[in-house]
């Protein structure tokens, strides 16, 4: 593939997809500890407390919203801690990954963090609504640039993920206005009617890593029947009505 070099991950050492991969696990682990279904010890033999996990998770989620939110009201993909700068690109699927994790935190975190996490979730969903395409009702691969970049098209994974977040957020009472529900329904319906062709779910961007070169975000092209899109669409079905 023609993606960015591996060393890019060492510079952009906070990225939205990495937040999903780590913090969603931490959330589920904390919930399991709270329910008493699991006991965890750290490397020094100390019992891990759910409260400590939630503290770490919510601190990280807050850091992203405070340091990676763009003027477009959606999130940049990467952040360099050493240089204290973002990579300057609002990648769609990255926003989807983070939004799903933030939704999980907003629904399950302790009360002391609940208002903050729910406020961040509504803030991000307000930004997301701004970039839902008026014609396709989907979201672009580079979410805030639309046709301005070569091969930047409405992309299936971000569209499925954000539709899921809007639908579930509305159903769970985090997004009280009907506009969120309508946006989620439009996104989901567009996915089903326009992105499933002869049984194939089309137009999922191949991963290419995090980079400050905006044109690299479509360099590896788009594929059919990719798990990231299929999985998110299946999640959205549960909250569709």
Per-residue model confidence (pLDDT) at position 9: 58
Which structure tokens are listed for 182?
């309508």
Query: Could you report the per-residue pLDDT of 172-216, keeping only the tens digit for each?
Result: 999 999 999 999 999 999 999 999 999 999 999 998 789 999 988
Helix axes 156-171, 227-237, angle to 10 degrees: 20
Per-residue model confidence (pLDDT) at position 1: 43
Residues of the chain with pLDDT under 70: 1-9
Q: Rounded to two decimals, what is the model's pTM?
A: 0.94
Q: Which contacts qualify for 224-231: CB closer than 8 Å, 24 or more apart?
A: 224/200, 225/200, 225/201, 226/156, 226/157, 226/201, 228/93, 228/157, 228/161, 228/204, 229/156, 229/157, 229/159, 229/160, 229/195, 229/201, 229/204, 230/201
Per-residue model confidence (pLDDT) at position 8: 60
Region for 107 from its dihedrals, namely left if φ exceeds 0, alpha if ψ lies in -120 to 50, beta otherwise: alpha
Which structure tokens are listed for 128?
């997301």
Which structure tokens are listed for 234?
């299946």
Residue bearing tokens 């569709």: 240
Per-residue model confidence (pLDDT) at position 7: 58
């Amino acid at each position: 593939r023609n993606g960015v070099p591996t060393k890019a991950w060492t510079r952009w050492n906070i990225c939205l997809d990495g937040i999903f991969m780590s913090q969603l696990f931490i959330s589920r682990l904390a919930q399991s500890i709270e329910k008493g279904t699991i006991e965890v010890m750290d490397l020094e033999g100390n019992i891990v407390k759910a409260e400590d996990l939630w503290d770490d998770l919510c601190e990280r989620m807050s850091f992203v919203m405070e340091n990676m939110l763009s003027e477009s009201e959606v999130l940049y993909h990467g952040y360099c801690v050493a240089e204290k700068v973002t990579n300057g690109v609002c990648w769609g699927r990255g926003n989807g990954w983070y939004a799903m994790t933030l939704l999980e935190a907003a629904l399950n975190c302790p009360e002391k963090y609940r208002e903050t996490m729910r406020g961040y979730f509504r803030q991000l969903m307000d930004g997301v609504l701004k970039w839902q395409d008026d014609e396709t009702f989907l979201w672009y691969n580079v979410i805030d640039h639309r046709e301005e970049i070569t091969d930047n098209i409405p992309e299936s994974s971000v569209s499925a993920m954000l539709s899921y977040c809007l639908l579930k957020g509305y159903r769970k009472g985090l997004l009280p206005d009907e506009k969120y529900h309508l946006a989620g329904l439009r996104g989901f319906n567009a996915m089903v009617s326009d992105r499933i062709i002869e049984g194939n779910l089309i137009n999922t961007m191949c991963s290419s890593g995090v980079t400050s070169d905006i044109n690299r975000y479509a360099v590896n092209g788009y594929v059919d029947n990719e798990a990231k899109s299929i999985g998110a669409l299946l999640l959205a079905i549960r909250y569709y009505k």
